[in-house]
Amino acid sequence: MARNMDWEIPSEFQPKPEDYAYDLDVALGGVLGLQATVPEDAFTAGTLGTERAGSAVLIGKDGLVLTIGYLITEAESIWLTSGVGGAVPGHVLGYDQETGFGLVQALGRLNVQPLELGTKSRVGAGDKVVLAAEGGRKHAVAATVVARQEFAGYWEYLLDRAIFTAPAHPFWGGAALISADGSLIGVGSLHVQHSNGRELRRDVNMVVPIDLLPPILDDMMTYGRANRPPRPWLGLYAAEVEDAIVVAGLSDRGPASKTGLKPGDRILAVRDDPVSSLAAFWRRVWASGPAGSEVVLQVMRDEEKMQVRIPSTDRTRLLKAPRLH
């Protein structure tokens, strides 16, 4: 079940033990490899694939593992590997659509030390960090936080204060972001481009901050999801183009696909509230009420204005539930 590990970060970008006040190798040992298999008829199979591989982080001595949710969504089997060798199966405990976190319970001994959650660590631009995939120093990047700022994703996703790091790690999914004190301060989610307005765009990683985990951790372990009203989901992919919000695509099984919306339509407002940024658009959609609420969009198509009413739904109802082992 092991991934191809015949790659390594160039040595000049790898972290050096003497540069850190904690035991770097012990900390990196808590970063695991994760492989997930998803049924072909799963809702996310078409977009995320049926064979998914990335990293995960041991955060509990009892085998509690944290990763990025898209790796394990609808997974029917999970395997975890560590730097000391061997593989153990895992069970999906849950995933949270709002933050993007996913939880796995290891069903065997991993023989590595868990990372402490750095919930009290203040992380800001300029801080030196390590972004690590499974495999120790050769699979880790000595990075710098380049920004803490809002991030809006086209797939109905928004973080108020995401962490952006550079240089970019090539295998970012589920990677551990480790602070100067050796604690876990985030989980790798994406490879994006970033500009602060004063320089050319650069490749960076977007990392979900660990601060978002404690408020939902107990709920995820108990219920498989955060115990809060689910947001209204439209099945609409949107893009921000020159201060305009444009429909980039539609999920075949999403409610928006049944309303006559088309790619290229420009979204002017949610009800009577104009929107000019992707973040503002998602916030207005979610302010329409919980999942099941009607979301009313004002749309422009070929210079003609139209109103579209979308009966939203709870996205998790379309997903396969975790299987018990």
- Domain extents in the chain: 11-114+217-223, 128-211, 236-318
Q: What local confidence, expressed as pLDDT, does residue 85 receive?
A: 83
CATH 2.40.10.10 fits 11-114+217-223, yes or no: yes
Average pLDDT in the chain: 94
Tokens of 302: 């070929």
Q: What local confidence, expressed as pLDDT, does residue 2 receive?
A: 42
Q: For residues 150-159, give the mean pLDDT.
A: 97
Q: For residues 118-132, give the mean pLDDT.
A: 94
pLDDT, tens digit (0-9, with 9 covering 90-100), for 194-229: 766 555 678 999 999 999 999 999 999 999 999 999
Q: Do domains 128-211 and 236-318 have the same CATH topology?
A: no
Q: What local confidence, expressed as pLDDT, does residue 243 receive?
A: 82
| CB distance 298 to 289 below 8 Å | no
Q: To the nearest whole percent, how much of the chain has pLDDT over 70? A: 96
Q: For residues 76-103, give the mean pLDDT.
A: 95
Q: For residues 138-160, give the mean pLDDT.
A: 97
Q: For residues 37-45, give the mean pLDDT.
A: 96
Dihedral sign computed on CA atoms, order 89, 93, 318, 158: negative
Helices (H) and strands (E) in the chain, counts: 4, 18
Tokens of 154: 């086209």
Residue 1 has pLDDT above 50, yes or no: no
Q: For residues 124-141, give the mean pLDDT.
A: 97
| CA–CA gap between residue 82 and residue 29 (Å, rounded) | 7
Q: Domain 236-318: give its CATH code.
A: 2.30.42.10
DSSP for 118-152, please give it: -TT----TT-EEEEE-SSGGGGEEEEEEEEEEEEE
| Architecture of the structural domain at 128-211 | Beta Barrel (2.40)
Residue with tokens 């990335």: 54
DSSP for 292-323, please give it: T-EEEEEEEETTEEEEEEEE-B-GGGGSPPPP
Q: For residues 33-38, give the mean pLDDT.
A: 98
Residue 257 has pLDDT above 70, yes or no: yes
Q: For residues 61-68, give the mean pLDDT.
A: 97
Q: For residues 86-106, give the mean pLDDT.
A: 96
Q: To the nearest whole percent, how much of the chain has pLDDT over 90? A: 90
Amino acid found at 93 = L
Q: What local confidence, expressed as pLDDT, does residue 104 receive?
A: 98
| CA–CA gap between residue 227 and residue 213 (Å, rounded) | 13
| CA–CA gap between residue 59 and residue 61 (Å, rounded) | 7
How far out from the chain centre does Cα 29 lie? 22
Strands 202-209 and 157-166: antiparallel
pTM: 0.94
Confidence label for 188 from pLDDT (cuts 50, 70 and 90): very high
Residue 110 has pLDDT above 50, yes or no: yes
Confidence label for 121 from pLDDT (cuts 50, 70 and 90): confident
